[in-house]
Amino acid sequence: MSDQLLTLNNYRFLRAEARNFSLETLTDILDKLTAVVEERREEQASKGVQDAEHAKRVDKIREMMLSEGIDISELVQQAPPAKPSKQTREKRPAKYEYTDSSGITHSWTGQGRPPAVIQKALDQGDTLD
């Protein structure tokens, strides 16, 4: 819940803030808030009706399937297969090989930040080739 709504939900805060407004302004705010609450109630009632109608349609279809001797598992078997998941791509081949200060050979693909050894060489004027 946002901070503004938390403060509106605080009875003491509302009482203190109400002292700063005229009675006409408070009445106007109350009317608007009442309208918003009523809209929300109507939306919720409408959603409940839609959910009930949907459940009735599902039950009706289930009854029709049972009366025709169709099992849900048959439908699942005939459904098209799900799309295969994305394949992971192969690692990029290394373009550059370098030896660090301890004498160990490493490789770098050329993607991302260059390793410190390569960056130091580039700063000194060397090229990647």
pLDDT in tens, the chain (129 residues): 677 777 788 889 889 889 999 999 999 999 999 999 999 999 999 999 999 999 999 999 999 998 988 888 888 888 888 888 788 888 888 888 888 888 889 888 988 898 888 898 889 988 877
Q: Are residues 64 and 98 in the same domain?
A: no
Residue 113 lies in a domain: yes
Q: Are 106 and 93 in contact (CB under 8 A)?
A: no
- Give the integer Cα–Cα distance in Å for 98 and 111: 15
User: Which value, in Å, is the radius of gyration of the alpha carbons in the chain?
Assistant: 34
Which two tokens mark 44? 């919720």
Residue 38 domain boundaries: 3-78
3-state secondary structure of 80: coil
Could you tell me if residue 83 is inside a domain?
Answer: no
54 and 16 within one domain: yes
